[in-house]
Amino acid sequence: MFKITIDNILIEVEEGTTILQAARMIGGKVVPPAMCYYTGLKGSGGKCRSCLVKVAKGSAKDPRPMPKLVASCSTPVQDGMVVENTTSAEVQEARKGVVEFLLINHPLDCPVCDQAGECDLQDLSYGFGMEETNTREPRREYPVVDIGPLIKLHMNRCIHCYRCVLAAEQLTKKRAHGMLYRGDTMEISTFIQTAIDNDFSGNMIDVCPVGALTDKTFRFKSRVWFLNPMNAHRECSKCSGKVTAWMFGNEIYRITGRKDQFGEVEEFICNECRFEKKDINDWVIDGPRKIKRQSVISSNHYEELKKGSIIHPIEGTTEPQE
Amino acid sequence: MGRAILLDKVNIPGIRAFEVYRAHGGYKPVDKGLREMTAAQVQQEVIKSGLRGRGGAGFPTGLKWSFLDRKSDKPRYLVCNADESEPGTFKDRYLMEKLPHLLIEGLILSSYALGVKTCYIYIRGEFKYLVGILETAIREAKKNNYLGERILGTDFSLEIYVHPGAGAYICGEETALLESLEGKRGNPRIKPPFPAYKGVYDCPTVVNNVETLATVAPIISMGGETYAGIGTGKSTGTKLISACGNINKPGVYEIEMGLPTEDFIYSEEYCGGMKNDRMLKAVIPGGSSVPILPADLILNTAKGQPRLITYESLSEGEFESGSMLGSGGFIVFDEDACIVRNTWNLTRFYRHESCGQCSPCREGTGWMEKILYRIEHGQGRMSDIDLLVRIAKNIEGNTICPLGDAAAWPVASAIRHFRGEFEAHINVPCTMYNGQMKEERAL
Amino acid sequence: MEKGSKVNHHLFVRENKAVSFSDETLAKIRSLIRRYPEGRQKSALLPVLHIAQEELGGYLSVDTMDYVASLLGINPMEVYEVATFYSMFYLEKMGKYVLEVCHTGPCAICGGEEVLKHIKDYLHIETGETTPDGMFTLKEVECLGACGNGPVMQVNTEFYEHMTEKQVEKVIEELRQKQGEEGTSKGWAEQFS
Ligand SMILES: Cc1cc2nc3c(=O)[nH]c(=O)nc-3n(C[C@H](O)[C@H](O)[C@H](O)COP(=O)(O)O)c2cc1C
Ligand code: SF4
Ligand code: SF4
Ligand code: FES
Ligand code: FES
């Protein structure tokens, strides 16, 4: 067991644990935001840089601080390590910078985005972003790519986290989409016109931190904060059949995996459960899902947020693609 | 030329051929190393020589070798970094074209020291013709029992393969290079684990620059201590400097570490002075990634000492008034050069070459490029200049690999030393070029 | 002020045309694959794509990439991801000669911009375009690692250095004359022993 201090809180964790996982064991404010790391996806993390923290002391053996901020999601703890997250001004500054980078090319079309209300980028912006935007440059616009009848791809909203690629690689037999090109023209695409279709493709929607991948069968049906998430299950030959049913009255609007407080699903579910079973008789409803409504919109910060800048499309931005 | 240790044979006609190379003392260091020395002794000589990496970071080579995981029962690999894509740097190309066997010698000795049986030369795809030259040299060496099974009758066996890249600066970064070698996109890996433990194919790997590895041959030949006696301080030996820009004699020069930059620029032996007798305006001394220095600071340090071509002297003054030796790409600008345009140009380079994995670099390089494009075309705002500084600061140190820093430093240093020029461009398009600003640029 | 920032990508079409290497090339590719450890045949992807581009039409069509994927036993998507990452791979049909002009700093300050402009005027094409006779495609590329000999241009991966406005005209005319003849430089497959 390793002892590690995060924001002055001491915790004992197993060897091999990452700083982020250790922080999540403590919970609350010391948990760095993670936009690309996803526990269930091997090889995820390290890319978005929103989880940067300062290592003020490397370990008991080698107490030197680490020269640069490190990605907490992909840095394993050392015995005696001292980490600063909320207590470091440098970290707060850097994170603000990362949020800004993630937003300069984001279309900011939350008013027409199905992800609004459960979007990690909204939360991140609200939690760490700046009051106003500093960019007057034109935003990047991708051509629209149709990836089939079940999933809607809005490439302009993508933050290039790689989660959907990893999900497709690890959950399906033959990945039909990928990260193409490079640099700031990097694109999630199928390269050739094709519908992404296999039993587990729908999980791409759940792992996508933003509204770049959304459920076409739920498109514009409702705002998520008007719906009641219920734990539900059914006998399923392909997956555990344990899902969250998002309901309005007795109607099921959509099915997702059961997400924990960090937005990660407990178990990946199959497409049949997700897309085809929208009748309440398909399911046994177990009761309300206790969702820690950490989302800015879910927790009624929406009005407050509206006054700020991140909800309004900024001068010069384009209309949401349709 | 001053002291020629690497390039001593460069002017011998036909030196690319094994027989000629051998006839002029080539492969003697390999004979010595493999027949008379143990692997540990070879490594010891490299440690003693004080040789530092010539690829850019200047990390002590012997020390790097000592990190290699020798406990693992997996095969070990040596990968030679011949990706040479840093603007202003063209020394490795020169060395491989003129003296391919020198590199092969270095690779044999280094592999012997490291206990490596397979070595890959990762060369940028644009150097296609060099692939043939190197493969020929390898074939010749193999025919003469310097490669293949049981080299020179010893227990040591080695294969060297040339592996071409395909146009991506980022593949010069060592972990991106390893990904690329595995046939993947050139995305740098997140470290740790370091290549010394998990490199190519998850096996212990050492990655070194062409020049670094080639230097191992003369080190074994003359002995580490003798080599360490050349140069000054912690910058031992000689260094290949590739000089380009507005000078009379661009080219690759081997210099003894410690040569004053002034001598390098103005003496007939090297750059031969400024072209058309123009005034020296600025120099980027170590490849496009290192901070640019104005004429006074490249010739003398802020303390008034002559600036020398060494790791220490070039970085004296840190980012305030210093730069770095980097890869030895010495880019000279005369009074006619526009610093703003050049900064925009280089930023466009980094934007184009960012792998795109991490947000600060992917988004930040593009953002800086767009702003610099506007400023260059007279559409800037005064506040853009500080914004650029802030963006550069937010990229620096917060990325997966050092390309982020490499993109940030040129911008930050150009503004630090030539702020007036940026201010003069605000609202006034660059006078040196009459490029039309495009309304819409496709990406 | 700049208005748009449109990403210039589009989807490609799988034509299902049969493509294949000659037996000789296949033998070479097999020997290339053997350079890498068992099970790591994907490592040969970049060299094989170079050979494919050169021998199968001057660019990488979807069919060509699918073929390469089958040779290496990998998912075609992995090939698309790689082909779109590296700038030496072309995804569209190119002219017979691809003029790749370096426009990075060191070349630019030595007259590279003028040379580039001159080629555009001389051939009446913009960057990215091909002359109507299908002979020349113009590309701007980043540093080619020959900055001391700038301005630098590559034509089908062959170096042309110290370019001036006169020089490029000469090179272009010489290439025109060569029409029909095979190039003299060695191809990718021949580079490897
Ligand atoms: C963006 C980037 C590009 C690089 N390009 C090269 C290169 O072209 N050639 C090279 O030898 N090293 C390059 N390096 C440095 C390598 O990562 C690595 O440090 C070097 O190959 C180690 O060899 P050395 O210790 O012999 O210098 C680059 C580094 C970065 C971050
Ligand atoms: S589409 Fe979503 S999951 Fe995929 S890379 Fe983009 S943001 Fe990440
Ligand atoms: S810093 Fe740039 S080049 Fe390096 S990993 Fe990040 S995005 Fe890629
Ligand atoms: S969550 Fe750690 S870098 Fe993205
Ligand atoms: S800048 Fe043109 S070859 Fe280096």
- Residues B17, B23, B28, CA angle at the centre, nearest 5°? 100
Class of domain A107-132+139-218: alpha beta
Q: What percent of chain C has pLDDT over 70?
A: 95
CB-ligand 4 contact for A139 (6 Å cutoff): no
The first and second tokens of residue B164, run together, are: 């071409």
The first and second tokens of residue C19, run together, are: 């493509």
Query: What does the pLDDT average to over C78-90?
Result: 98
How far apart CA C45 and CA C57 sit, in angstroms, is: 18
Question: What letter represents residue B181's amino acid?
Answer: L
pLDDT at C179: 63
How far apart CA A223 and CA A112 sit, in angstroms, is: 10
* pLDDT per residue as tens digits for the range C91-109: 999 999 999 999 999 999 9
CB-CB neighbors (< 8 A) of B184 in chain C: 42, 78, 82
CB-ligand 2 contact for A213 (6 Å cutoff): yes
Contact A100 B366 (CB under 8 A): no
Q: Which residues pair with C113 in a beta bridge?
A: none
Tell me the domain boundaries of chain A: 2-101, 107-132+139-218, 224-292
Contact A97 B398 (CB under 8 A): yes
Burial of B12 (0-12, 13-18, 19+ CB in 10 A): middle
Query: What does the pLDDT average to over C108-129?
Result: 95
pLDDT at B431: 74
pLDDT at A317: 35
Query: What does the pLDDT average to over C63-85?
Result: 98
Question: What letter represents residue B252's amino acid?
Answer: V
Contact B331 C47 (CB under 8 A): no
pLDDT at B22: 97
Of the candidates B92, B250, B440, the beta carbon closest to that of C3 is on B440
CATH fold of C97-177 reads Glutaredoxin (3.40.30)
pLDDT at A136: 82
Question: What letter represents residue C84's amino acid?
Answer: T
DSSP A81: E
Burial of C180 (0-12, 13-18, 19+ CB in 10 A): exposed
Cis peptide before B193 (omega within 30 of 0): yes
Contact A160 B362 (CB under 8 A): yes
How far apart CA B325 and CA B259 sit, in angstroms, is: 12
pLDDT at B339: 96
> Are the beta carbons of B211 and B95 closer than 8 angstroms?
yes
CB-CB neighbors (< 8 A) of B366 in chain A: 105, 140, 183-184
Please give, one letter per residue, the 3-state secondary structure of C135-172: CEEEEEECCCCCHHHCCCEEECCEEECCCCHHHHHHHH
Q: How many CB pairs under 8 A join B and C?
A: 188
- Whether residue C2 is predicted with pLDDT greater than 90 in this model: the reply is no
Contact C50 B85 (CB under 8 A): no
Q: Are strands A52-57 and B280-284 parallel, antiparallel or unpaired?
A: unpaired
Which of B169, B173, B175, B359 to substitute to test the interface with A, most A CBs within 10 Å?
B359
More confident residue, B409 or C178: B409
Cis peptide before A32 (omega within 30 of 0): no
DSSP per residue over C14-57, as a string? ---------HHHHHHHHHHHTTS-TT-GGGGHHHHHHHHHHHTT
pLDDT at B302: 95
Question: What letter represents residue B118's amino acid?
Answer: T
CB-ligand 5 contact for C47 (6 Å cutoff): no
pLDDT at C145: 96
Of 3.90.1150.10, 3.30.70.1400, 3.40.50.261, 3.10.20.740, the CATH number of A2-101 is 3.10.20.740
Give the 3-state secondary structure of residue A209.
coil
How far apart CA B380 and CA B422 sit, in angstroms, is: 9
Is any Cβ of chain B less than 8 angstroms from the Cβ of A68?
Answer: yes
How far apart CA B61 and CA B42 sit, in angstroms, is: 12
pLDDT at A295: 55
**CATH 1.10.10, chain C: domain bounds:** 23-85
φ, ψ of residue B49 to 5 degrees: the values are: -65, -20
CB-ligand 4 contact for A19 (6 Å cutoff): no
Distance from CA of C40 to the nearest CA of B (A): 7
Question: What letter represents residue C62's amino acid?
Answer: V
**CATH 3.40.30.10, chain C: domain bounds:** 97-177
Low-confidence ranges of chain A (pLDDT < 50): 296-322
pLDDT at B435: 60
Contact C192 B251 (CB under 8 A): no
Q: Are strands B238-245 and B329-334 parallel, antiparallel or unpaired?
A: parallel
Q: What is the CATH number of domain C23-85?
A: 1.10.10
Residue with tokens 């003693």: B48
Is any Cβ of chain B less than 8 angstroms from the Cβ of C174?
Answer: no
pLDDT at A294: 54
- Residues A121, A125, A126, CA angle at the centre, nearest 5°? 115
- Give residue B54 CA to ligand 3 midpoint distance, Å: 22
CB-ligand 1 contact for B403 (6 Å cutoff): yes
How far apart CA C97 and CA B104 sit, in angstroms, is: 34
CB-CB neighbors (< 8 A) of A174 in chain C: 75, 77
> Are the beta carbons of B154 and B35 closer than 8 angstroms?
yes
Residues 6+ apart with CB under 8 A from B115: B39, B70, B76
Grade residue C184 by pLDDT with cuts at 50, 70 and 90.
low
The first and second tokens of residue C72, run together, are: 């290496």
- Ligand lying nearest the CA atom of residue C150: 5
Distance from CA of B169 to the nearest CA of A (A): 12
Q: Which residue of C has its CA nearest to B139?
A: C193
| pLDDT averaged over every residue in chain A | 88
- Whether residue C174 is predicted with pLDDT greater than 60 in this model: the reply is yes
pLDDT at A297: 46
Low-confidence ranges of chain B (pLDDT < 70): 1-2, 433-437, 439
- Give residue B56 CA to ligand 1 midpoint distance, Å: 6
pLDDT at B150: 97
